[in-house]
Structure formats: C-alpha cells, structure tokens
C-alpha cells in the first residue's frame, strides 16, 4: 500500500502564472490536439513559434503542475468501467483511510468533502468486476461501508475548461 | 464502438501523458506494438466515436488559481433529470454533470454537478445561479465543498495493482 496521504494545503502559495505562449496553449489546446506525425510542430506553426518553444512551454506547465499531462480524457464506462464512491469516515481515521484508498492504482481521484460522507473517490478499471472488487476490498480493509454511486448518464460535453486570465 | 484490447493498451500508454518528443505517436506506438499511422488512426477513431471526450492539455484547476470546488447534488424526478442535467451542464463553471444511481435512504440524490471557481464566494454564487434555474429550488439539494485533495490522476487501464490483480 502507499505511504501517508499527501493532502493539498489550502493556503498554499499563489497560483501558477503562465506566459503568453502558455496562455495560448491553455486556451487553444485543451481539445483538438493535432493527430499528426509532428503535433508539436503543427501547434508551433499555428502559434508562430518554434517546435522547441512549444515543447518547452508544455514541459514548464507540467513542472509547475498547471497541467497534469497531454492526454486523452476518456468518457466514463466506454473503454473501461468506473464509479464514484463515498464513505463516512470517523474524523480521527480520515488520514489513514484516505491513504489506504490512495493505495489502489484504480483510484484516480480522492477528496475530502465537507459532509458526513467525507471521503469521495473515483474507481476506474478495465471492467465492472474489477471496480466491484476494489470497492469490496476497501470495505473489508477499512470495516466501513462504501456507497457505490455508479454513473447513469453523462450530460457534460467536455471541451476543456475556460480559464479566466485576470 | 467496440473498444479493443489494443485500444485499451494504447489508452493505458497515454495515461502518463503523450511524450514531449518530435514523433510522440511513434514513441507511444513502440510501447504497445503499433506503428505511428496506426496509433493516429486509432486515436482519431476513438475520438470520433466519443470514447475520447477530448484530447489535449489536461488542466489542473487548483494550480491555475481555481482553488475552490464543490460537488452539488439534487434529488430530481427521474423523468426530468436528463433535461435538467443538460441545462445545468451548459454553464461554463460546471466542469462535470452526471446522473448517478440513488442509494436511499442514505443518498437519495441522482443529479451531480462539479463546480470550480477561484474562491469559495465565486462557487457559492455559481450554486445560486444553478439553483435559480426554473424549478430547481423545489428539489432537495446537498452542497459538498472539497476540503483536501488526496489524489488526482488519469484513469487506470493497466494490468496490475499493489493489492489487486486485474482479471483478464
């Protein structure tokens, strides 16, 4: 299993400040990333910079954790199975249980929320059987009930998030 | 479309991110035994079929100054949930909007929206905007602000895990 959970500090330093090229990339390439042999060069041509500039800007944003990756966002329950799960964890056990839940590779998101149901996490695997196994394993390991809130319908057409530059 | 085992391997190879190399699709392909043209064609087919919702930079809201997020849930009549869900999903501050299985009596709520904003006040205003949509005020609601993020990463399509093995 994993080490201790690493909670995100609430009052951490000021946010990442992107430069002009980074802003252009964040505004223009959260979707529609070129599916061509040299995608970074294709982007560079659109932005009027060099391929090296684009790669360096993306690397900087990854370094600053402004982006997690260049990747594909997969619609839930198409290439695999997933669910949202919730637990009511006694406050004194929350850090330990969060670390236990984090220990599963199939857990992609794990948040503390302000509610009696205070731990919310997403489980994604290649099939529903595996999702069920993970939920069952977490119940057994923690002795707590896991609420399985499986997806019925997705209403959001994801084009990326419009960041507001101030 | 039917997502093949090869497609899953390809998506798995992409989960850590497209390499920052001159020919990234060739490099991803090398990891799963596909040539560059095949990788590009498969990704295009997955995108066109809607399996890939979008492809590009995956933004981390928190690090970009969107420090507050709330999950807002309503108990909406099943007959209306699709119409309401589509309406709420169209707001720019709504980053996810799903219908999910109810688990009464503990959890009778079936409509879930995720809202991101620069601070809590902004998110609270966004929640008021959604709640002012016609009829929404009548439905039981829960607001769950996030307190700590323990984990956030791409999906897992791999073959092994610390304590559980994938049944293949």
Residues in Cβ contact with A125 at an 8 Å cutoff, skipping those fewer than 6 apart: A80, A81, A82, A106, A131, A134, B156, B157, B166
Predicted pLDDT at B12: 86
CB-CB neighbors (< 8 A) of B95 in chain A: 156, 161
Lowest pLDDT segment from A76-80, A123-127, B157-161 = B157-161
> In this predicted model, what pLDDT tens digit does every residue of B114-157 receive, in sequence order?
999 999 999 999 999 999 998 899 999 999 999 999 988 766 65
Write the DSSP string, B54-69. Answer: EEEEEE-TGGGT--EE
Task: Inform me whether the pLDDT recorded for B159 exceeds 50.
Answer: no
Q: How far is A47 from chain B (nearest CA, A)?
A: 15
> In this predicted model, what pLDDT tens digit does every residue of A38-81 receive, in sequence order?
999 999 999 999 999 999 999 999 999 899 999 998 888 888 88
Nearest to A103 among B55, B145, B163 (CB): B163
* Residue of A22, A34, A71 to mutate, interface with B, max B Cβ within 10 Å: A71
Q: Are B29 and A35 in contact (CB under 8 A)?
A: no
Predicted pLDDT at A16: 79
Q: Check B64 against A111: CB less than 8 A apart.
A: no
Q: Residue A129: which of A80, A90, A57, A85 has the closest Cα?
A: A80
Q: Check B57 against A55: CB less than 8 A apart.
A: no
The torsion angles phi and psi of A4, rounded to 5 degrees, stand at -65, 150
> How many beta carbons lie within 10 A of that of residue A75, not counting itself?
17
Task: Inform me whether the pLDDT recorded for A7 exceeds 50.
Answer: no
Domains defined along chain A, listed by start: 20-63 (no CATH), 81-149 (3.30.70.3460)
Q: Are A61 and A24 in contact (CB under 8 A)?
A: no
Q: Residue A12: which of B107, B3, B62, B29 has the closest Cα?
A: B62
Angle, vertex CA A156, rays to CA A123 and CA A154, nearest 5:
50
Across residues A8-35, what is the average pLDDT? Answer: 80
Nearest to A71 among B58, B64, B107 (CB): B58
Side-chain-facing half-sphere of B73: CA atoms under 13 Å: 20
Q: Check B64 against A103: CB less than 8 A apart.
A: no
Q: What is the DSSP letter of A92?
A: G
Q: How sure is the predictor about A113, in pLDDT bands with cuts at 50, 70 and 90?
A: very high
Q: How far is A55 from chain B (nearest CA, A)?
A: 6
d(CA A147, CA A88): 9
Across residues A86-115, what is the average pLDDT? Answer: 96
Q: Which residue has the higher pLDDT, A12 or A104?
A: A104
Q: How far is B167 from chain A (nearest CA, A)?
A: 7
Task: Inform me whether the pLDDT recorded for B65 exceeds 90.
Answer: no
Q: Provide the percentage of residues in chain B whose pLDDT is more than 90.
A: 73
Q: What is the DSSP letter of A143?
A: -
Question: What order do you get walking across the sheet with B94-100 strand by strand?
Answer: A147-149, A81-87, A119-125, A107-113, B141-152, B68-74, B111-117, B94-100, A151-154
Nearest to B59 among A30, A82, A109 (CB): A30
Q: Check B148 against A111: CB less than 8 A apart.
A: yes
Task: Please provide the distance, in angstroms rounded to a whole number, between the alpha carbons at the two ends of chain A.
Answer: 42
Q: Which CATH number fits domain B62-145: 3.20.20.70, 3.30.70.920, 3.40.50.720, 3.10.580.10?
A: 3.30.70.920
């Amino acid at each position: 299993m994993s080490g201790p959970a690493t909670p995100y500090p609430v009052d951490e330093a000021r946010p990442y400040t992107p430069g002009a090229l980074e802003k252009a990339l964040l505004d223009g390439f959260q979707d529609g990333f070129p599916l061509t042999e040299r995608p970074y060069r294709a982007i560079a041509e659109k932005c009027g910079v060099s391929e090296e500039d684009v790669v360096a800007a993306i690397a900087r944003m990854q370094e600053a954790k402004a982006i997690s990756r260049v990747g594909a966002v997969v619609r839930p329950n198409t290439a695999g199975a997933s669910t949202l799960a919730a637990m009511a964890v006694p406050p004194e056990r929350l850090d330990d249980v969060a670390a236990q839940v984090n220990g599963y590779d199939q857990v992609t998101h794990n948040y503390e929320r302000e509610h009696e149901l205070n731990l919310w996490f997403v489980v994604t695997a290649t099939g529903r059987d595996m999702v069920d196994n993970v939920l069952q394993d977490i119940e057994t390991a923690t002795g707590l009930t896991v609420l399985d809130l499986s997806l019925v319908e997705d209403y959001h057409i994801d084009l990326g998030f419009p960041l507001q530059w101030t | 479309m039917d997502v093949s085992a090869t497609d899953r391997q390809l998506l798995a190879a992409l989960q850590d991110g497209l390499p920052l190399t001159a020919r990234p699709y060739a490099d991803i392909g090398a990891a799963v035994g596909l040539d560059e043209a095949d990788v590009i064609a498969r990704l295009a087919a997955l995108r066109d079929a809607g399996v890939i919702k979008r492809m590009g930079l995956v933004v981390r809201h928190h690090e970009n100054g969107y420090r507050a997020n709330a999950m807002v849930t309503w108990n909406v009549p099943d007959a209306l949930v699709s119409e309401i869900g589509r309406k709420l999903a169209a707001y720019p501050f709504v980053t996810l909007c799903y219908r999910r299985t109810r688990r009464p009596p503990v959890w009778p709520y079936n409509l879930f929206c995720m809202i991101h904003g620069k601070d809590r006040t902004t998110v609270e205003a966004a929640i008021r905007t959604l709640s002012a949509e016609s009829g929404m005020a009548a439905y039981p609601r829960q607001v769950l602000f996030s307190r700590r993020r323990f984990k956030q990463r791409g999906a897992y399509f791999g073959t092994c895990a610390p304590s559980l093995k994938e049944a293949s």
